Homo-oligomer: A and B are copies of this chain.
């Protein structure tokens, strides 16, 4: 906090805002960690440990959980400078009774036992949500998820469509689609019906968004039904098929009134030998102008855009300032680092209507990460509000807190209708 009273006071008010987390990978049937392995298995830790020298074999599924955990902890002093390390320390101190500022292999036993004990408490899920001040969490559901057996009011379904857009040439995906909808895909018309069926299923189960991650060179465009039908039958037509399916999804978003979350810019499997979920990287040579046709074609669909670099964030701030249907969304993945969050947040707060900004989402796999990730963001938000808004005279403290509430809660409620 830099001993700055104003920032401190703003942070204290901001943490009181009940959060709606508009993007996570929470499994609603198993939302919290069961062990330290569930925490340190988060790809941020496995990939940083691997990047710092830990062989992938030490992380394999057949390695006992205690050994896997000890291996990662034993490498943590190689990346104890990182933001991700700070999240873990926050968790260890808040939830596991850890007292120090540094962890190493010697702490494995204590932390492992503390985690077993703590996470086994019957009301652990409630405790975590209360302590994080998180009210609702959006999910990332496969298109063939039955969406049953959990409270969709707390865990809001969200239709994830990467498989449909990028892997529909695979028979396995078509089989899943056929099982989920009862429709075998022969031509474009079948696809339309199948997607409508998915949207219908999702909306009727409380889904509030459609989402996808997109490679840097993706450029959406309408595809004629004839071309789409042809692409469905042609293994070489996958690029056209991707564009066509994507466009149909946007049409469904319009028809079913769902916002479309676009996470733009990631190439998959760049580091082929990387750990699970630790293989993807971006290419800065990408532009939101690739989406201009889309934004023009669907003025009623809110597109909530996440980007991976500060350079593209400057584009995003400009596109959201001009296009009524472009919303800035969170700080994603490689951009979810304090120096980039601060810069990107300042650009958005100074240039984009405040009603069109989704401040943050956790992207978490386990609820325990909500607290440290949102805390990182809230600290930066408090600092930016203090310097750029209160000290500059733009507003007073109450106005700054209201602005925080707008981007952390009110906009999410309005845009996603929750």
Contact = CB atoms under 8 A, between A and B. Distances in A.
Interface of A: 1-3, 47-48, 50-53, 78-83, 86, 101, 267, 270-274, 278-289, 292, 295-296, 299, 308-312, 314-315, 317-324, 334, 337-340, 343, 346-347, 349-356, 387-389, 391-396, 403
Nearest to A343: B339
Given A48-B321, A273-B296, A351-B82, A101 B395 contact: yes
A82 B353 contact: yes
A86 B394 contact: yes
Contacts of A352: 79, 82
Contacts of A321: 47-48, 51, 82, 334
B289 A322 contact: no
A400 B286 CA distance: 37
Contact of A311 (B271, B284, B389): B284
In this complex, the member of A286, A339, A354 whose beta carbon has the largest number of chain B beta carbons within 10 angstroms is A339
9 contacts: A2-B387, A48-B321, A81-B349, A81-B354, A81-B394, A281-B292, A283-B289, A310-B311, A334-B351
A277 to B, nearest CB: 11
B334 A339 contact: no
Contact of A285 (B81, B286, B346): B286
Given A314-B309, A314-B340, A355-B52, A285 B285 contact: yes
Nearest to A333: B318
Contacts of A320: 51
Contacts of A396: 101
A383 B334 CA distance: 24
A199 to B, nearest CB: 25
B81 A324 contact: no
A323 B269 CA distance: 12
A271 B296 contact: yes
A100 B292 CA distance: 39
A289 B271 contact: no
A343 to B, nearest CB: 7
A295 B271 contact: yes
A101 B83 CA distance: 37
A26 to B, nearest CB: 24
A289 B391 CA distance: 40
A410 B338 CA distance: 26
A289 B273 contact: no
A278 B158 CA distance: 33
A100 B337 CA distance: 37
